[in-house]
A and B are shown apart, each in its own frame.
Chain A
Amino acid sequence: MSILAILEQRAGVWHRMSWETLAAAQQLGAELGQPVSAAVIGSDVSALGGELAAKRLERVYAVEHELLKDYTPDGYTAALGQLIAAAKPRLVLFPHTYQVRDFAPKLATSRERVMVSDVVSHRVEGGELVLVRQLFQGKMNVDVHFQGDPPYFASVQAGAYRADKVAAGSAAMEKFAPELSASAIRTKPQELFRESQRAVDLTAAEIIVSVGRGIKEAENIPVVQKLADVLGAELAASRPICDNGWLPMERQVGSSGQTVSPKLYLAVGISGAIQHLVGMKGAKTIVAINKDPEAPIFEVADYGIVGDLFQVVPALVEEIQKAKG
């Protein structure tokens, strides 16, 4: 019985959240007094497994099969189901990536379990693990307990644990060869691609003015464009604005858009759903203008103004122009 961290790689390159997940697993292992193992999955992962073998782990599983070269939910679920049956972990931990969202609920279902997804923190109470996750787009937190018998499944949110906390050590590496058949893999994945060369590189911007649903309609975009102009900032947006076509997709900040860390990030009418926060919480200074005093954006803001953006933003433009002379 142990903790098993299942890490993510693509074409031999680690997903950055793999290390955060490993740090979380080591931390949980230490607090629960449980040994920690890690697994990496693909067609040839011995080099990556070797890298893991230099971490403080009991065991490293290199799960390899020709049919695991490209990710498919059927292939991954079958392979990892067999690994879990053999290794008998008490807790299986994943990074909460798009890929994990695609297969981990299926894997948990095949074991008659439900994964606690997108965990932001944890604590141990009387030997029992309590996981914290967010509801209502980050407006509420809940404490979640597992019920019934293990294995338990959980995925950790981007940035919830620190990758630089991974402890070094040495671990035995074991090759695990699952039994898979091509006919059981029902989907045929094609090559990855990007839509077009990004014309706007938000990651290079020093100042970003970003706009969310609070702007109400496309006709109001000039209100924030003006603020961006007087600050010499790039204009960015949360997902719904780009979904509606009010600004091009390439100006989107968040988990499905760009990840930025400017000197100043001014969030206007953005409530701060987690998908947005992961893309901008690394900004040096965050300013939030929102009519809802309970909006999650204020949890990460350095400066906040509660008010109607249609009054605050024009006033701000005027004050900035005055200050600049």
Chain B
Amino acid sequence: MKIVVCIKQVPARDSLLRVDPSTAWIQEDDLAHEINEPDAYALEEGLQLKEKHGGEVVVLCAGPAAAAQTIREALAKGADRAIHVEEEKLGGFDPLALSRLMAAALQTEKPDLVLTGLQSDDLGYGQTGVILAEVLGLPHATIIMQVEKQDSGIRVKRELEDGWFQHVDMPLPALLTIQSGINKLRYATLMGIKKAKSKEVKRLTAAELGIAQRACIRIERMYPPEKSKHTQMLDGSPKEAAAKLVEKLKFEVRVI
């Protein structure tokens, strides 16, 4: 099975975010970055499917030059090779234009299965996988918790709301968006890290792929959300704060 896994590099989870007023975006230069968490699960699923059924795992990443780090880590975990669509300013591409960019980069690949995370931890549109499927003309299923190869095609387990699930049978090639928690993430081994250095990373640009910037939605302003509730902050040492909270729990919330 030839599997393409789409991964994205996002600001590290614990980053302290500051708005850059000149760009309607965050100040990103001084932030640490990491792989988008749902994409890490998509990569792991791709690697496990390859181990079970043979084939190849190709990582596709659209992002700035600095995303090379995240690509290396994916190769170190076991991906066979990578395609890096290198663009410093992806903000000018809406999810549809970005999907066209990714589809163009996959033109010669003809994968059996394309995997993405179900959403990104930064923009959080939760749409790129589904849009990419439509652009590629593939059937898709989202929020997947299990992938099983069958004689003709695959059977997947979709997560629905309120604890419900559903199996869906579908032909290959197909695209799946993977839910966090579908599997246990592996760590890269020392051997893997060493091997990753010699693995192929194909670099392409939007200009080479002939895809122009396009945005039918526009972000005008970014700002920290206003509080919907008045929060009483209880300060002091841990012991003092704890004592203040117990007061509240006893006399106002009345649970003690």
Residues of chain A at the chain B interface (Cβ within 8 Å): 73-74, 97-99, 101-103, 105-106, 108-110, 112-118, 130, 134-148, 186-195, 198, 206-207, 213, 231, 239-240, 242-245, 255-259, 263-264, 284-288, 292, 294, 296, 298-308, 311-312, 314-316, 318-320, 322-324
Contacts and interface: CB of A to CB of B under 8 A. Distances in A.
B243 to A, nearest CB: 5
Contacts of B141: 73, 102, 187
A191 B3 CA distance: 28
Nearest to B16: A294
A143 B225 CA distance: 11
Contacts of B169: 187-188, 190
> Which of A304, A306, A308, A319 has the most chain B CB within a 10 Å cutoff?
A319
Contact of A102 (B130, B181, B250): B130
Given A112-B96, A188-B170, A301-B231, A147 B121 contact: no
A320 B255 CA distance: 11
B216 A147 contact: yes
B215 interface: yes
B219 interface: yes
> Which of B171, B184, B222 has the most chain A CB within a 10 Å cutoff?
B222
- Give 9 nearest A-B pairs by CB, closest first: A243-B181, A315-B242, A105-B127, A186-B139, A311-B238, A105-B130, A190-B167, A316-B242, A188-B169
B61 interface: no
Nearest to B230: A302
A101 B126 contact: yes
Given A102-B158, A188-B169, A206-B255, 6 more contacts: A108-B96, A109-B135, A141-B224, A142-B219, A319-B243, A320-B246
Contact of A144 (B143, B171, B220): B220
A118 B246 contact: no
B255 A109 contact: no
B212 interface: no
B170 to A, nearest CB: 4
Given A312-B241, A315-B239, A114 B127 contact: yes
Nearest to A316: B242
Interface residues of B, number: 80
> Which of A147, A239, A314, A322 has the most chain B CB within a 10 Å cutoff?
A147
A157 to B, nearest CB: 11
B73 interface: no
Contact of A207 (B16, B164, B233, B255): B255
Contact of A117 (B14, B126, B184): B126
Contacts of A255: 161
B89 interface: no
B187 interface: no
Given A304-B233, A315-B242, A323-B246, A147 B215 contact: yes
Contacts of B255: 206-207, 231, 263-264
A235 B42 CA distance: 29
B229 A301 contact: yes
A89 to B, nearest CB: 16
B107 to A, nearest CB: 18
A184 to B, nearest CB: 10
B170 A114 contact: no
A294 B163 CA distance: 31
A91 B240 CA distance: 53
B145 to A, nearest CB: 10
A151 to B, nearest CB: 11
B221 interface: yes
A302 B229 contact: yes
B217 A192 contact: no
Interface string B125-167: 1110011011100011111000000000000001111111111
Interface string B165-196: 11111110000000111001000000000000
B249 interface: yes
Contact of B231 (A141, A147, A304): A304
